[in-house]
Structure 1
Amino acid sequence: MKVAAADLFVKVRERKPLVHQITNFVTVNDCANVTLAIGGSPVMTSSPSEVADMVKLADALVLNFGTIDDKALEAMEIAGKTANTLNIPVILDPVGVGATSYRTEQVTELLNKVTFQIIRGNASEILRLMGEDIVTRGVDSGELAISNAELALQAANKLNGVVVVSGAKDAISDGKHTSIIDNGNILLTKVTGTGCMATALIGTFSGVTDDFYSAAVAGISTMSISGELAAAKLQEDEGTGTFRVRLMDAISRMDKEIWMHEVKINEEIPN
């Protein structure tokens, strides 16, 4: 799996996949730029009138619930169904699910209408997608008894797709195999949109393969490794603003060789 994930860095640079993203207005620019930084091509069309035509040109579709409203939901349903018909991978980022009844009800309805190949969220968001009675606080994850690895495995089997659970240790599972990424830096939690950007990266890698497990591993680990590299370059008088710029620099420089050298990955089957 590690070699398969590493090879995707080469494929993305060669193929420049078009990644259609219906995302939130807080992070739309960063999601577009991170897609470019890793080698993809972003398109951020969100009008219900044109998303079907745009998705037909895309290699992957990312749906992000960050600033959800009725118009965005309409566009997501149209785009998602179109992508499913054309076998284009669809990636869900259920930002803040569980915070409000509207958000929770709408993501549940969307899950019933659209098939998702990959879902990425924090632990509380993923638990809420599984039907657990948990309330999230904005986009933060609370303290939970279950490990990210166990949760990813259970969620992958229940939701019938690859699930990425973000946290201090990211976990990825397809229901049979589970990987733990032990990279990252606390500063990633101090910059708005790093989770959304990670999902954009996952979507970019998904646009060049049908091995969605490896795509998820490559995408989430790229963000975690880049956070480590960016933080390591900070000087004493530099803070989150400089970190944000250096994070994008690190992503733009990421390649197969750097990734293989830096990634801390373990495969685990939770009991």
Structure 2
Amino acid sequence: MTPNTAFEALRAQAPLVHCITNYVAMNIAANVTLAAGASPAMIHAPEEIADFAPIAGAVTINIGTLSAPWLESMKAAAVAANAASVPWVLDPVAHFATPYRAKAAVDLLTLKPAIVRGNASEIVALAGGIGSGKGADSGDSVADAQSSAMALASSHGCVVAVSGPVDFITDGKRSASVTGGSDLMPKVTALGCSLTALVGAYSAVAPSLEATVAAFVHFAEAGERAGKDALGPGSFSVAFLDALHTLQPGDLGEARVTWR
């Protein structure tokens, strides 16, 4: 399935995406998901999880603003999604920053996400290496994280995606690089977290590897278009949502993708 055929399926099906994400990311993640063509639901109460996760097309779990009740919900959502054969995506935000956060990420990883998306430092550390990240910011390059991503994908049977100037996505056997975007993208808070939500949306309509590539291409295409006229992060944010919305199936530049 190509990025454009996945995009066509996304727009045709408008899947429901159950997003458990952080306080900073809620608004932008919901808007990105909606602008792209899916339907976001920002639900995290433990009392609702077992009933809601199975009716979603996909579940996304982001540990950015972690707390004990939310972690309970995250684990319950992963279990419920797996039981219902609903794909779920893990975003281990800054999991290396504290022991509590690190254990939460490892515990969630053992619940078998279909896809893991993070920056280079997050992926290096999740694979057992020592990265040089600071908080949610990566201090490592995507190239530094490629071997870690492949090892993580192979050992856990999932797709691993590393965000950066040139993104890297792998299932341990096949890999793809995606180019594009804008230098302004890292200047917008939680834009990476919103990419996780978009990956979830695509995973509801396409196989995990192809879905992840399609989401990254959609993001890169919209980012490049938005960056052409933006004056800074504020105007870029508005232009980016507009670009996600106005792009149509057939507009995703598949030359952005290099398979190996």
Runs of 4+ in 1 over 4 A off after TM superposition: none
Instruction: Give yes or no for contact 2:3–2:210 (8 Å, CA) kept in 1.
Output: yes
Instruction: Give yes or no for contact 1:124–1:134 (8 Å, CA) kept in 2.
Output: yes
The answer for the alignment partner of 2:34 in structure 1 is 36
| Structure 1 portions without partners, runs of 5+ | none
The answer for the alignment partner of 1:220 in structure 2 is 216
- Tell me if 1:266 matches 2:247: no
Q: Alignment RMSD, CA only?
A: 1.6
- Tell me if 1:247 matches 2:240: yes
Instruction: Give yes or no for contact 1:24–1:67 (8 Å, CA) kept in 2.
Output: yes
The answer for the alignment partner of 1:158 in structure 2 is 155
Could you tell me how far apart the structure 2 residues matched to 1:52 and 1:259 are?
36
The answer for the alignment partner of 2:188 in structure 1 is 191
Instruction: Give yes or no for contact 2:142–2:162 (8 Å, CA) kept in 1.
Output: no
The answer for the alignment partner of 2:86 in structure 1 is 88
> Superposed, which structure 2 residues align to 1:1-271 within 5 Å?
3-112=1-110, 114-134=111-131, 136-143=133-140, 146-209=143-206, 211-234=207-230, 238-260=231-253, 263-268=255-260
Using the TM superposition, give the Cα deviation of residue 59 of structure 1 relative to its aligned residue in structure 2, in angstroms: 0.6
SS of the equivalent of 1:259 reads: coil
Provide the identity percentage: 38
SS of the equivalent of 1:56 reads: helix
| Structure 2 portions without partners, runs of 5+ | none
Using the TM superposition, give the Cα deviation of residue 156 of structure 1 relative to its aligned residue in structure 2, in angstroms: 1.3
Q: How many corresponding residue pairs?
A: 260
- Which amino acid in the other structure matches residue 6 of structure 2? L
Residues 211-246 of structure 1 show CA distances to partners (whole Å, capped at 9, x for unaligned) of 110100011222122111101123xxx221101100
Using the TM superposition, give the Cα deviation of residue 134 of structure 1 relative to its aligned residue in structure 2, in angstroms: 3.4
